Amino acid sequence: MSTGGSAAGAGIRYEPDERPPAALALGLGLQLAVLNVAIPILIPTVVMRAAGATEGYFAWAVFASVAVCGAATVLQAVRFGRFGSGHVLVMASSSAFIGICITAIVEGGPAMLATLVVIAALFQLLVSARLALFRRVLTPTVSGTVIMLVPVTVMPVVFGMLTDTPGGASALAAPASALATMLVIIAIALKATGAMRLWAPVAGVVAGSVVGWFLGLYDVERVAAASWIGIPKGEWPGFDLDFGPVFWALLPAFLLVALIGAIRAISSSVAIQRVSWRRGRAVDFRAVQGTVTVEGVSNLLCGLAGTVPNTTLSTSSSLAELTGVAARRVGVATGAIFILLAFFPKALAVVLAIPGPVVTAYLVILMAMLFLVGVNVAMQGGMDYRKGLIVGVSFWVGVGFQNDMVFPEQVAEFAGGLFRNGMTTGGLTAILMTLFVEWTRPRRSRIEIEFALSALPKVRYFLGSFATRNGWDFEMLDRLDAVGEEMLLTLLQPDASGAIGEGSGRGRRLHLSARREADGAILEVVAAPGGENLEDRMAFLGVETDEAAIEREVSLRLLRHLATSVRHQQYHDTDVLTVHVKAPASG
């Protein structure tokens, strides 16, 4: 029986809570920083150059982007209260915002951009705080589709860097350096064991850069010309608080892309959790909320600084799977290096001088692995024809729009070309199809009761009436009655720590809903937050052998036996327990 838990990462050497050697954490953090720091440099560069921004504002925007990305990456890793995921998640400037940011600066100036980014950030913080309300829409199917579309949106730019070579370079320079990078990474990743496998990415990049240096691709002059230490003389843009026609015309587009950014953050958080543990665990939606919260805080800082918004990159999960290291120390090291690089222009120049073909080869491997992570996330809990249709249609819609195959003239003119981004169009398609499925489902029966054992008769009467209305026989009625009883008892029962949740005590309420499905019924309980995740407790049934543990396991074992699937989503303010009960085969 599937409980909806995540698949474990293969070959994980260090889990998030474990402490790898400092040199290893620093080395992997350096890898992530070196290979991602170009994003918060290049994207603001594209936006500011295209919008005709002044040199002073441009220099400030790049500096602020790198510094904010570093601080947000550290916050993602440390997980302070409701802030952060507790995993290695790198923050960088968002390519999805490029078009509308250019439009904002051209039509309203840098102050208009700052105002819109701040409001978009506040919207993301609102989504994070009430993430449980979006659970029926932001599903693994939607999240997995968005992850699968990340390579689709990134690869056109990535493959464009294959020809990013200086004039006069040999025609063989680009393919030779790219091939050297790819062969070294693949060879080490496939054949090496132990510590050597951890250094596959950096070894490939170094090998490719060395080949590129011999063939005249590495930009030595850029490194030589850069100063060692420096802070740009910034031009802080301030805010445009007139809220004129330009603001109202661009606000919907900014909110839409902010929502897509939140979905991407959810997808990235789910993806990194799936590959960070040796043994499969249920997705911790409190960590997901923390991920989205940090993205909102990061974008709030970007807005206050007047630079391009950030997003959560998904490459961290690929690197964790490739190296076997998911320790949060790596995230702290990555963010710290970002911050240091922001104040050392020469160090930034060393990174930016890496030949484009070398970066392309590295990202091709990471994007291929990331696509498979997206497939695994989309298939979480199984794949039926509805999910398959949502994933298939949304993915190809995203591919079509990304490659200007769908009414390119009209799309390019609408909302500053917002829908030319495949992740935006594919993600929105998945959301709309998911909403349609949800709205057309049979109506739910609902009841609100006190969260106490005394409510059991009400639960039984509610489920009995539900079974009668749907024409089920006594066998299904008995099964629903038993499942309802075990759900209540399991939620009321103390976990191994002796707690039954933050919301325990007088006045705690419980919402129970029931909906008919083609093969049975879906029961859902929404209550105040509880203790341990029931999916994880089910996965570890039988591990503990003391008498108290065995007594706690009784209801869990019965629930696992009676239900087809059990999914426990834990948010900071809400627990959602969803149980699928299959109707007995007739005659």
Give whole-number Cα distances, 98 to 48, 338, 547, in Å: 10, 21, 60
Highest mean pLDDT among 210-214, 462-466, 531-535: 462-466
Q: How large is the average pLDDT for residues 206-216?
A: 84
- pLDDT tens-digit profile of 51-110? 777 877 877 888 889 999 999 999 998 888 888 888 888 898 887 677 678 878 888 888
Q: Report CA torsion sign: 391, 373, 331, 204.
A: negative
Mean pLDDT of 418-422: 68
pLDDT at 5 over 50: no
Instruction: Please report the pLDDT score of residue 295 as a whole number.
Output: 93
Least confident of 58-72, 328-342, 417-431, 461-475: 417-431
- Which residues lie closer than 8 Å to 524 by C-beta, 6 or more apart? 444, 512, 513, 514, 515, 576, 577, 578, 579
Residue given tokens 């720590």 in the structure block: 497
pLDDT of residue 543: 47
Summarize pLDDT for 161-176 with one digit per residue, the tens: 777 777 667 778 888 8
Q: Which residues contact 181 (CB under 8 A, 6 or more apart)?
A: 204, 205, 207, 208, 357, 358, 361, 362
CA distances for 297 relative to 111, 307, 508, angstroms: 19, 14, 31
Angle between helices 474-492 and 547-562 in degrees, nearest 10 = 150
Q: Ranked by mean pLDDT, which of 241-245, 266-270, 332-336 comes out on top?
A: 332-336
pLDDT (0 to 100) of residue 414: 63
In sequence order, what are the beta bridge partners of 448?
511
What per-residue confidence (pLDDT) applies to 486? Answer: 82
User: How many Cβ atoms sit within 10 Å of the Cβ of residue 386?
Assistant: 12
Q: What is the pLDDT of residues 549-578, one digit of tens each?
A: 455 566 667 777 777 888 888 887 788 888
At 104-143, the pLDDT tens digits run 888 888 899 999 999 999 999 998 888 888 777 777 788 7
Nearest residue to 262 via CA among 215, 299, 232: 299
Q: Which pLDDT score, from 0 to 100, does residue 562 have?
A: 77
pLDDT digits (tens, 9 = 90+) for 329-343: 988 999 999 998 888
Q: What is the pLDDT of residues 289-314, one digit of tens each?
A: 999 999 999 999 999 998 999 988 87
Question: For the segment 314-323, what is each residue's pLDDT rounded down to a tens digit?
Answer: 777 777 777 7
Closest CA to 175 of 187, 165, 162: 162
Q: Are 357 and 119 in contact (CB under 8 A)?
A: no
In whole angstroms, how far apart are CA 151 and each of 187, 318, 324, 363, 399?
Answer: 22, 12, 22, 9, 10
Structure tokens at 5: 């838990």
Using the structure block, give the residue that is written with the tokens 């998945």. 430
Sheet holding 575-582, edge to edge: 445-450, 509-517, 520-527, 575-582, 565-570
- Among the listed residues 233, 254, 282, the one whose alpha carbon sits nearest the alpha carbon of residue 6: 282
User: Percentage of residues in the chain with pLDDT exceeding 70?
Assistant: 82
Q: Which DSSP symbol is given to 509?
A: E
What pLDDT is stored for residue 496 in this prediction? 45
pLDDT value for 499: 45
Query: Which has more pLDDT, 276 or 42?
Result: 276
10 Å CB burial of residue 409 (0-12, 13-18, 19+) is: exposed
Q: Give mean pLDDT, residues 470-485.
A: 87
Ranges 38-47, 72-81, 203-212, 295-304: which has the least confidence: 38-47
- Domains annotated on the chain, with CATH: 22-235+247-438 (no CATH), 445-582 (3.30.565.10)
Q: Is 14 helix (H, G, I), strand (E, B) or coil?
A: strand
Among 82-91, 270-279, 413-422, 462-471, name the one with the lowest average pLDDT: 413-422
> Is the pLDDT at 539 greater than 60, yes or no?
no
Return the sign of the alpha-carbon dihedral for residues 440, 445, 448, 452.
negative
Q: Identify the pLDDT of residue 262.
A: 85
Tokens 């293969």 sit on residue? 10
Per the structure block, which two tokens stand in for 122?
A: 């506040």
CB atoms within 10 A of CB 98: 21
DSSP code of residue 585: P
Q: Which residue has the higher pLDDT, 422 or 234?
A: 422
Backbone angles phi, psi at 282, to 5 degrees: -65, 150
Q: Cα separations (Å) of 212 from 157, 196, 351, 477?
A: 20, 23, 14, 71
Cα angle 571, 424, 4 (rounded to 5 degrees) comes to 35
> From CA 88, how far away is CA 264, in angstroms rounded?
15
Lowest mean pLDDT among 149-158, 256-265, 354-363: 149-158
Q: Which token pair is 434?
A: 């998911």
Question: φ and ψ at 502, to 5 degrees?
Answer: -65, -30
489-525 pLDDT, tens digit each: 877 765 544 444 444 444 567 888 998 887 888 888 8
Looking at the chain, the whole-number percentage of residues with pLDDT higher than 90 is: 10
**Average of per-residue pLDDT across 378-400:** 85
- Which is more confident, 277 or 232? 277
C-alpha span between 417 and 408 (Å, rounded): 9
Average pLDDT over residues 202-228: 79
For the record, the structure tokens of 421 come out as 């981004």
- 2 pLDDT higher than 50: no
Q: What mean pLDDT is reported for the chain?
A: 79
Q: Extract the tokens encoding 27.
A: 């080395």
Place of tokens 């299904």: 476
